Amino acid sequence: MISNFLQTPIDYLKGVGPNRADLLKKELGIITFQDFIHLFPNRYIDRTKYYKINELQQSNADVQIIGKITHLKMVEQTKGKRLVATYKDETGSMELVWFRGHKWVKESLKLNVTYVIFGKTNWFNGVFSMAHPEMELLEEHEQNLRSAMQPIYPSTEKLSNSGITNRVINKLMQQLFIESKNKFAETLSPEILNRLKLLPKNRALFNVHFPESQELLAKAIYRLKMEELFYIQLQLIRKNLIHKSKIKGYPFDEIGTHFNTFYKQQLPFELTDAQKRVIKEIRNDLGSKAQMNRLLQGDVGSGKTIVALMAMLIALDNGFQTCLMAPTEILSVQHYNSLVEMCSKLNISISLLTGSSNTSQRKEIHQNLENGTLDILIGTHALLEDKVKFKNLGLAIIDEQHRFGVEQRSKLWHKNEFPPHVLVMTATPIPRTLAMSVYGDLDLSIIDELPPGRKEIKTVHRYDSNRLKVFKFIRDEIEKGKQIYIVYPLIQESETMDYKDLMDGYESIEREFPKPKYQISIVHGKMKPADKEFEMNRFIKGETQIMVATTVIEVGVNVPNASVMIVESAERFGLSQLHQLRGRVGRGADQSYCILMTSHKLSADAKARISTMVRTSDGFEIAEVDLKLRGPGDMMGKQQSGVLNLKIADLIKDSDILKIARSLAWEILKDDPALKKPENASIRSAFEELVRYKNIWNYIS
Ligand code: ADP
Ligand code: MG
């Protein structure tokens, strides 16, 4: 089949026309034949089974029933009229209801003639009803062959209101198969089909729309899922390979004085195996002639900072400058302090640039960057300002990637003629399957091991009514010399109200923990940066025992003496946020605690989040639950959800297929990067078509 056929606008399919085409486009995004043929059924129902009215169950499911309309009446309601029919079979009676299209229904329906109706039943006050049933005269019904696996297509209210019912879609699909003569070009190579025992493309397409048997349907679905995931992986991996071959980077082949001195003499602790492995991966990237583009995932507290430092030392040893960008001022300051301390014995110049750096500080930084005397620059978004010009930026490290937009990331690249190597660090564990699909074009390093000696943080759920006991617990911990975080939600839309909650909470804590015995810090987003820093520093230095804060402290803050994290209104936080917050404690040698406070009213999702937190502290496990609760689109944010808009595969349920698809794509591209070998011809042409018509890069950074 020539590919142009599939690019025919859907308007040209017999039975569609401009109005329907418009609806299909608006409601389902269907523009071409190609789109339509890839409109896959959500599920299949058995149309060879007929129910008796007395067999109906209260759970509403799709059923078909043979019976007769005995009576038709109009019922007036405050909200409008509805047309109600009494529908009977030999076992009982039920109602059919129409809220719209009354005229047409009244004119076309016949009383006391046998129909087959199909639709979802509702049960109310002892009566079953079906709204807007699909109806066919029994005679007609018997002429149309019914399948035990009738596809049910995705639909919208607008579509069914406009008469584009499931049956209509089904008919149109038949029409398309007739017009195409079911000759769809094969998109996978014979070798793959053979090895994985996959159905050919046209067989699979036919069976997904018109199943010949359960077995063939299952095979069809498997084949189409494999194909979908394979081409996503092929694009991602290809992009990665092209990147590596085309985008040159400065080769850092020296492992010199700074790195060696630090590694041999100044390491503050022994590195974990995971840290060593990741540093090796980074060294390999930096030593190659391609630009590094690596994502470093590691749970909170897994020790990413030292990895970043060692990567920076390699850059310095090769005569380049480096920068480390963090999402908040507090975090930048903390990075600055810990790097200055760790590098105190090395001859390195480090500066901090944030929104609150003053003019003379900025001037000095700008100068030293340009003349090359400044080695490491740490800071916030301020690093992206136009005046910041490096003499030779060789490595850019970005901490907590999810806080930065894609454009911001690429801005750093344009500081130089050669792009610097880029290391993005995140403490938000992304389930592997999702990472493979969304970040498949980045290289991935994972620190999957915490430094030794960490005690598991004890996590409990407490209701607001138990507050007094919680206060007593806080008092006891402070007695032991420990520090406490109390975090309030701050969600933008209701900021004023949240702000009030925070202030009320602060006041009640002040009453409960009076000065001068107790000192309390408060940090929130409405404070001036300098005030925030001042309060934060009091807590870091141990001058205050309690830190009342909003989620501004979520990321990266490190106060090892803090042993208790109390999260107020924990039901309002997302799982990854709760996990981040909990990661603020458990950084010292002593037992730490996380107390999740909630009201008694909890939604099912909130309960699931809280119980997950209580059950496990494994960031990857938490991320998996998060993915199940929220779905991949929400989890990754808007920009990336496009690629996850899969037609048939499901990233969670089909992770096994994804793994096979990914290794297959790797194998093929390794052997034949340009897809030029004759045996890959079908893959190449399918791939080119995909890139031509559906450029998934619109969605990906
Ligand atoms: P994160 O990955 O969350 O950025 P950090 O780099 O801030 O974690 O490290 C958390 C804490 O663990 C720091 O106090 C750091 O000094 C310490 N740490 C990191 N690696 C090790 C290690 N291998 N052994 C002992 N402590 C470590
Ligand atoms: Mg960190």
CA of 558 to the centre of ligand 1 (A): 9
CA of 336 to the centre of ligand 2 (A): 12
Per-residue pLDDT at 110 = 92
Of the residues 262, 269, 339, 397, which should be mutated to test ligand 1's pocket, given the most ligand atoms within 8 Å of the CB? 269
Closest CA to 440 of 308, 304, 295, 576: 295
pLDDT digits (tens, 9 = 90+) for 64-95: 999 999 999 998 877 788 899 999 999 999 99
3-state secondary structure 405-454: CHHHHHHHHCCCCCCCEEEEEECCCCCHHHHHHHCCCCEEEEECCCCCCC
C-beta neighbour count of 416 within 10 angstroms: 18
What is 257-287+303-426's CATH number? 3.40.50.300
The answer on pLDDT for 682 being more than 50 is: yes
Cα–Cα distance, 95 to 188 (Å, whole number): 50
Cβ of 302 closer than 6 Å to ligand 1, yes or no, is yes
Cβ of 269 closer than 6 Å to ligand 1, yes or no, is yes
CA of 453 to the centre of ligand 2 (A): 19
Helix, strand, or coil (residue 150): strand
The answer on pLDDT for 411 being more than 70 is: no
CA of 450 to the centre of ligand 1 (A): 8
Across residues 317-338, what is the average pLDDT?
90
Across residues 124-129, what is the average pLDDT?
87
Cβ of 427 closer than 6 Å to ligand 1, yes or no, is yes
Q: How far is CA 406 from the centre of its chain?
A: 15
C-beta neighbour count of 386 within 10 angstroms: 7
| Residue 563 to residues 152, 464, 482, 518, Cα–Cα distance (Å) | 54, 21, 6, 16
Across residues 34-63, what is the average pLDDT?
87
* Residue given tokens 């030779």 in the structure block: 392
* Same fold yes or no, 257-287+303-426 and 458-616: yes
Closest ligand relative to 401 C-alpha: 2
CA of 449 to the centre of ligand 1 (A): 11
Cβ of 429 closer than 6 Å to ligand 1, yes or no, is no
CA of 619 to the centre of ligand 2 (A): 14
Cβ of 558 closer than 6 Å to ligand 1, yes or no, is yes
Cβ of 460 closer than 6 Å to ligand 1, yes or no, is no
Per-residue pLDDT at 646 = 79
Flag the least confident range among 7-16, 202-211, 412-421, 500-509: 412-421
**Banded pLDDT at 220 (limits 50, 70, 90):** very high
> And the tokens for 409?
């990331």
Q: Which CATH architecture has domain 458-616?
A: 3-Layer(aba) Sandwich (3.40)
Q: Give the residues across from 395 on adjacent strands.
A: 322, 421
Closest residue CA from atom 24 of ligand 1: 451
> And the tokens for 152?
């049910």
The answer on pLDDT for 415 being more than 70 is: no
Closest CA to 540 of 525, 524, 521: 521
Q: What percent of the chain has pLDDT over 90?
A: 49
Identify the burial level of 402 via C-beta atoms within 10 angstroms of its C-beta, where 0-12 means exposed, 13-18 middle and 19 or more buried.
middle
Cβ of 588 closer than 6 Å to ligand 1, yes or no, is no
Across residues 293-318, what is the average pLDDT?
92
**Banded pLDDT at 547 (limits 50, 70, 90):** very high
The answer on pLDDT for 167 being more than 80 is: yes
Flag the least confident range among 122-136, 192-206, 261-275, 493-507: 493-507
Cα–Cα distance, 332 to 523 (Å, whole number): 16
| Residue 661 to residues 109, 192, 226, 653, Cα–Cα distance (Å) | 52, 10, 6, 14
Cβ of 279 closer than 6 Å to ligand 1, yes or no, is no
Per-residue pLDDT at 25 = 92
* Position in ligand 1 atom list of the atom nearest CA 298: 2
Of the residues 302, 330, 457, which should be mutated to test ligand 1's pocket, given the most ligand atoms within 8 Å of the CB? 302
Global pTM value: 0.68
The answer on pLDDT for 403 being more than 80 is: no
CB 320 within 8 A of CB 250: yes
The topology under which CATH files domain 48-145 is: OB fold (Dihydrolipoamide Acetyltransferase, E2P) (2.40.50)
CA of 304 to the centre of ligand 2 (A): 6
CA of 451 to the centre of ligand 1 (A): 7
Cα–Cα distance, 77 to 276 (Å, whole number): 72
Helices 273-287, 304-317: crossing angle, 10 deg rounding: 30
Cα–Cα distance, 24 to 42 (Å, whole number): 17
pLDDT digits (tens, 9 = 90+) for 437-489: 666 667 889 998 888 877 889 999 999 999 999 999 999 999 999 999 999 98
Cβ of 546 closer than 6 Å to ligand 1, yes or no, is no
Of the residues 296, 302, 305, 617, which should be mutated to test ligand 1's pocket, given the most ligand atoms within 8 Å of the CB? 305
Per-residue pLDDT at 464 = 92
CB 118 within 8 A of CB 129: no
CB 298 within 8 A of CB 430: no
Q: Give the residues across from 226 on adjacent strands.
A: none
Cα–Cα distance, 55 to 68 (Å, whole number): 17
pLDDT digits (tens, 9 = 90+) for 585-611: 988 778 999 999 999 999 999 999 999
* Position in ligand 1 atom list of the atom nearest CA 271: 23
**Banded pLDDT at 101 (limits 50, 70, 90):** confident
CB 205 within 8 A of CB 628: no
Single-letter residue type at 355: G
Cβ of 64 closer than 6 Å to ligand 1, yes or no, is no
Flag the least confident range among 48-52, 253-257, 410-414, 672-676: 410-414
The answer on pLDDT for 427 being more than 90 is: no
3-state secondary structure 563-592: EEEEECCHHHCCHHHHHHHHCCCCCCCCCC
* Position in ligand 1 atom list of the atom nearest CA 560: 14
- pLDDT, the chain, mean: 86
> And the tokens for 402?
């999810």
Residue with more model confidence, 37 or 183:
37
C-beta neighbour count of 175 within 10 angstroms: 15
Closest residue CA from atom 26 of ligand 1: 451
Cα–Cα distance, 563 to 473 (Å, whole number): 12
**Banded pLDDT at 699 (limits 50, 70, 90):** very low
Of the residues 424, 558, 584, 617, which should be mutated to test ligand 1's pocket, given the most ligand atoms within 8 Å of the CB? 558
Cβ of 584 closer than 6 Å to ligand 1, yes or no, is no
Per-residue pLDDT at 406 = 47
Report the residue count for the chain.
701
C-beta neighbour count of 524 within 10 angstroms: 21
Per-residue pLDDT at 329 = 83
**Banded pLDDT at 645 (limits 50, 70, 90):** low
Cβ of 301 closer than 6 Å to ligand 1, yes or no, is yes
Cβ of 426 closer than 6 Å to ligand 1, yes or no, is no
Residue with more model confidence, 647 or 342:
342
**Banded pLDDT at 254 (limits 50, 70, 90):** confident
The answer on pLDDT for 335 being more than 90 is: yes
Across residues 201-223, what is the average pLDDT?
94
Sequence spans of domains, the chain: 48-145, 257-287+303-426, 458-616
> And the tokens for 648?
């048939």
Give 478-481 contacts, CB < 8 A, sequence gap 24+: 478/513, 478/518, 478/545, 478/546, 481/561
Across residues 347-368, what is the average pLDDT?
94
Cβ of 272 closer than 6 Å to ligand 1, yes or no, is yes
| Residue 13 to residues 10, 33, 168, 169, 487, Cα–Cα distance (Å) | 6, 8, 13, 12, 59
Closest residue CA from atom 27 of ligand 1: 451
CA of 557 to the centre of ligand 1 (A): 12
pLDDT digits (tens, 9 = 90+) for 555-587: 557 788 999 999 999 999 989 889 989 988 988
Per-residue pLDDT at 553 = 67
